[in-house]
Amino acid sequence: MPVFHPPKIAASEITPRALYLDRRTLLGAAVGGLGLAAASKVFAAPLAGKETDYKVTEKITSKEDATSYNNFYEFGTGKDDPVRNSGDFKPTPWRVEVGGLVNKPQVIGIDDIMKDFVMEERIYRMRCVEAWSMVIPWIGFPLSALLDRVEPLGSAKYVAFETVVRPDEMPGQKGFFQPLPWPYVDGLRLDEARNPLAILATGLYGETLPNQNGAPLRLVVPWKYGFKGIKSIVKITLTENEPPCTWNKSAANEYGFYANVNPAVDHPRWSQATERRIGEGGGLFGGARMNTLPFNGYGEQVAGLYSGMDLTVNF
């Protein structure tokens, strides 16, 4: 299988740190001063990025659809709840704790992440377990770059992720009835996390990542179903044992640890063999169904990770 190397980007193409910090300050003030109706529009600062070979030829989903039709239960279970209910969420200042089985555990601020790691644009197919899909241009950097910085020990086999818990800012996290246990957690095998397709995203459509899409830092693994893309990450831990994952813990018969897009494995309540592209065909829910691709079309890059595994059992 060919090795999939990310391209190098010149330092001159990265947003200067001072300019980025000025934008973040402005955006933070805007979020605090605007109402819910305007909250999704304040993240308009362009981010540096370069389109790379990580792209597909399909039509890109409109920014409006991609930022208004979301799964983010911390803000509510409806698809439009995140954009309506995330206006009070404050993505700055922000720190991410990276530790566990590593030589150099660190607590890294989002400003340092934006300064230290090369941001690039990658256009990815994204597939949700509910049989809808999008094509999104993400801004981010390889997860492997962050892992290299903390130097995993030889005993590390998995990477665990944890999201923030802020019930005062995330209305889906408070109240008597909770649809999920908090914090939201998920994980990858270490070789999956090191695959060049796996990125930590800080933006989309050339702009800062909106609250409803997982600001300020989220995971993007395009060969897996969307629930693996944990949002608003505050903790990354290298472990020897398979980490717990929220949806797998809540309904193991429906949501497997691996969650690789597989048209041959149906969800217990619907088929995964076909999908609809959001926003196409004259309506939000898409036009005619299209065939779902194994590994979401990224088999050449990731199928080797699962050589010898029964993917109908390890779903």
Above 50 in pLDDT, residue 35? no
Cα–Cα distance, 230 to 83 (Å, whole number): 17
- Rounded to two decimals, the pTM is 0.84
Evaluate whether residue 274 is within a structural domain.
Answer: no
pLDDT band at 284 (very low <50, low <70, confident <90, very high): low
Evaluate whether residue 300 is within a structural domain.
Answer: no
User: In this structure, are strands 132-142 and 274-277 parallel, antiparallel, or unpaired?
Assistant: parallel
Average pLDDT over residues 89-113: 98
pLDDT at site 227: 97
- The residue among 147 and 1 whose pLDDT is bigger is 147
Domain count, the chain: 1
H/E element holding 31?
helix 17-33
Evaluate whether residue 247 is within a structural domain.
Answer: yes
Domain that holds residue 41: 11-126+136-255
Both tokens assigned to 113: 């992440």
Evaluate whether residue 191 is within a structural domain.
Answer: yes
pLDDT at site 151: 98
pLDDT at site 280: 83
Mean pLDDT of the chain, nearest integer = 85
Evaluate whether residue 297 is within a structural domain.
Answer: no
Average pLDDT over residues 145-153: 98
Evaluate whether residue 207 is within a structural domain.
Answer: yes
- pLDDT above 70 coverage of the chain, percent: 81
81: domain CATH number is 3.90.420.10
Q: What is the pLDDT of residues 192-239, one digit of tens each?
A: 999 999 999 999 999 999 999 999 999 999 999 999 999 999 999 999
Evaluate whether residue 267 is within a structural domain.
Answer: no
pLDDT band at 117 (very low <50, low <70, confident <90, very high): very high
Q: Give the 3-state secondary structure of 74-87.
A: HHCCCCCHHHHHCC
Above 50 in pLDDT, residue 281? yes
pLDDT at site 86: 98
* Strand ranges, E, within the chain: 95-100, 106-109, 120-127, 132-142, 158-163, 185-189, 199-204, 207-208, 218-220, 233-239, 274-277, 290-291
Average pLDDT over residues 28-37: 30
Evaluate whether residue 175 is within a structural domain.
Answer: yes
| Max CA separation in the chain (angstroms) | 54
